[in-house]
Amino acid sequence: MCSVNNCHYWGKGNRCEAQQIFVVSDKFADTATDHIDAPQASMTQATPVNNCMETACKTFVPKGSYMASADGVTKQQ
């Protein structure tokens, strides 16, 4: 479930329709390129945080962005 309705993967009823997502620390999200996402998760270092305010969805792509296919993540069928 996700309320970020300007995301490419967002769907009705606040459902995330990405096949997979990658949640990381804000700090990591600030520096990693858009190409790093769930397909690269197993090769990425752990990014511990202190609370939920320090986490970020790395899979977010603005709706309509040409970057939607840059990270290898697709929508659920």
CB of 33 to ligand SF4, least distance (A): 16
CB of 16 to ligand SF4, least distance (A): 3
Confirm or reject binding of residue 9 to ligand SF4 (CB under 6 A): yes
Closest by alpha carbon to 71, among 44, 22, 36? Answer: 36
Distance CA(15)–CA(53), nearest Å, equals 20
Kindly indicate which of the ranges 9-17, 26-34, 37-45, 63-71 contains the residues binding ligand SF4, using the contact rule CB under 6 A: 9-17
- Residues found near ligand SF4 in the complex (CB under 6 A): 2, 4, 7, 9-10, 16, 18, 21, 57, 59-60
